Structure 1
Amino acid sequence: MSFLEWGKDVFNKEICALEAVRDRLDKNFTFAVKAMKSCKGKVVVTGLGKSGHVGRKISATLSSLGVPSVFLHSAEAMHGDTGMLQSRDILIAISNSGKTAEVVETAKRAKQLGAKVIAMTGDTKSALALISDATLDIGVGSEADHLNLAPTSSSTATIAMGDALAVTISRAMEFSKNDFNFNHSGGELGKRTK
């Protein structure tokens, strides 16, 4: 295969993964949207590794689209940052395996506080899924790299799930161009929304 064919193969694998995740959207997605739309606190997103990087992006997108959100690093949660969680918050806990110890423990602590927990995981029978109020299935058949190891298709699917949540909630809240400009007045996007 050529470099071009290898590159196209990555796109094809990730497109297939996105279509599969999209086709599995179910009542858990609806539950998550309704819960987040009516949330009286903030949406706290947690994860580690690539899931943590993706979680930061999801939190930023939510905030940009009118949903108050912060990112909580799961390891830091075990060293004092759990204090940012409150009973009226919603925790989105991201772990492709659903077994990442710090993510599962953060979710358990959120539940102990009375917060709702929404899992984003590729294993709907995992420890994380079992303790959550709703589970968003981000499972992919395979990663896009030649070793089937690097978080590629799975991280793309997680970003897409986060975008789907944020945009759906934003539409449900009738978030306007003026609202967007208030949150994002800088840069070219800010200029386009004036």
Structure 2
Amino acid sequence: MKLAKNIQTTAKNTLLKEADAIRQISEFIDERFEAIVLLILELKGRVVITGVGKSAIVANKIVATLNSTGTPSLFMHAADAIHGDLGMVQPNDVVICISKSGNTPEIKVLVPLIKRTGAKLIALVSNLDSDLAKQADHVLNATIDKEADPNNLAPTTSTTVHMALGDALAVCLLESRGFTSEDFAKYHPGGSLGKQLYLKVEDIYPKNGLPIVKQSDLVKESILEISKNRLGATAVVDDTGKLTGIFTDGDIRRMIEKDMSFERRTVAEVMTRHPKTILKGEFALRAMNQMREYSINHLVVLDSVENIVGFIHIQDLINEGIV
């Protein structure tokens, strides 16, 4: 096996060539691109994206991105389309056909069939003189100088550029619709990403106990409260019930390290004052960020009038897949 003379140089050159190509196509974004965005925004049907080979893979990715950002989309393989799958295209749809050359046999056969359906045809193409570009209603210009591989054969720069244009289209559409993170969460309810967008502290803390001791209580009695609830901490309040501190297993370890007596010592003498808190209506992601910022494992949960209602622990967030 022949190794490249300098693997790092080859890798960097590949990335720079592709980055330069993306910068180049940014110059092609004009009123024609805007017209395509407006066409899709006013669409009563769906966006159907098609291609063959590597272009089909790019098409699948763009379909996934559009669907997840509020634009109903379907993938249709160009080869399958001419053997029955063309039936998924309806007159109110828009078809985006992806092709570097715009002259592949499957595309040449497919284009007139698409136009017969009454659907609008958008060509995402790197060859503006191609059959596809000339017959399309709209063109997404993906012209490149050459591929990143030294033989100028393997689809590298072209597929990167095609995918980047798909991303630009998707972002323009979501911004035009005022698509929010809450909307995004509706389409991503599963997994850690979805939970970061919708899971709140109030969805988690009720699963835990609510350990509370008074600051005048003895340490040895309060240790039992920590142990009983298995959170590694207990909230500390004054005689009026106001939160004054938190007593954790870390405070206990520090007592042991200092060889402090447990017998008559009160919680107020060893607790951590000014504990970090979070409102129950906050997102769980914010709780995680607070714990990371302060390098702590617990937050005391408060309601809207700052009453203590519970605890949230870093393990809760790990269990939910937030961390």
Q: Same fold (TM over 0.5)?
A: yes
Q: Distance in 1 between matches of 2:7 and 2:30?
A: 38
Equivalent residue number for residue 85 of structure 1? 89
Q: Does 2:36 match 1:32? A: yes
Equivalent residue number for residue 316 of structure 2? none
Amino acid at match of 1:158: H
Deviation readout 1:128-161 (Å, 9 max, x if unpaired): 0111111111111011112111100000000000
Amino acid at match of 1:174: G
Equivalent residue number for residue 214 of structure 2? none
Q: What SS does structure 2 have at the residue aligned with 1:75?
A: helix
List alignment gaps of at least 5 residues for structure 2.
199-323
Amino acid at match of 1:150: A
Q: Distance in 2 between matches of 1:103 and 1:191?
A: 41
Q: Distance in 2 between matches of 1:37 and 1:45?
A: 16
What TM-score results when the alignment is normalised by the length of structure 2? 0.59
Equivalent residue number for residue 116 of structure 2? 112
Tell me which protein shows more strand as a share of its residues: 2
Q: Distance in 2 between matches of 1:184 and 1:28?
A: 32
Q: Does 2:122 match 1:147? A: no
Q: Distance in 1 between matches of 2:119 and 2:71?
A: 16
Distance apart, 1:188 and its partner CA: 2.1
Q: Does 2:53 match 1:61? A: no
**1:87–1:110 contact (8 Å) kept in structure 2:** no
Q: Which moved more, 1:163-172 or 1:18-27?
A: 18-27
**1:130 aligns with one of 124, 129, 134:** 134
Amino acid at match of 1:190: G
Distance apart, 1:64 and its partner CA: 0.5
Equivalent residue number for residue 44 of structure 1? 48
**2:78 aligns with one of 64, 74, 77:** 74
Distance apart, 1:2 and its partner CA: 1.2
Question: After superposition, where does 1:10-25 map in structure 2 within 5 Å?
Answer: 10-25=14-29
**1:160 aligns with one of 152, 161, 164:** 164
Distance apart, 1:174 and its partner CA: 0.9
Amino acid at match of 1:140: I
Q: What SS does structure 1 have at the residue aligned with 2:43?
A: coil
Deviation readout 1:78-120 (Å, 9 max, x if unpaired): 1100000000000000010011222233332221111111100
Amino acid at match of 1:152: T
Q: What SS does structure 2 have at the residue aligned with 1:91?
A: strand
User: Once superposed, what is the RMSD of the aligned Cα atoms?
Assistant: 1.0
Amino acid at match of 2:47: V
Aligned length: 194
Q: After the TM superposition, which segments of 4 or more aligned residues of structure 1 sit over 6 Å from their partners?
A: none
Q: Does 2:178 match 1:174? A: yes
Distance apart, 1:27 and its partner CA: 2.2
Amino acid at match of 1:117: L
Distance apart, 1:33 and its partner CA: 0.4
Relative contact order (C-alpha < 8 Å, sep 6+): which is higher?
1
Q: Distance in 2 between matches of 1:29 and 1:100?
A: 24
Equivalent residue number for residue 222 of structure 2? none
Go from structure 1 to structure 2 and tell me whether the alpha carbon gap of 1:41 and 1:134 turns closer, same or farther (over 3 Å shift): same
Tell me which protein shows more helix as a share of its residues: 1
Q: Distance in 2 between matches of 1:70 and 1:144?
A: 30
Indicate the structure (1 or 2) with the bigger Cα radius of gyration. 2
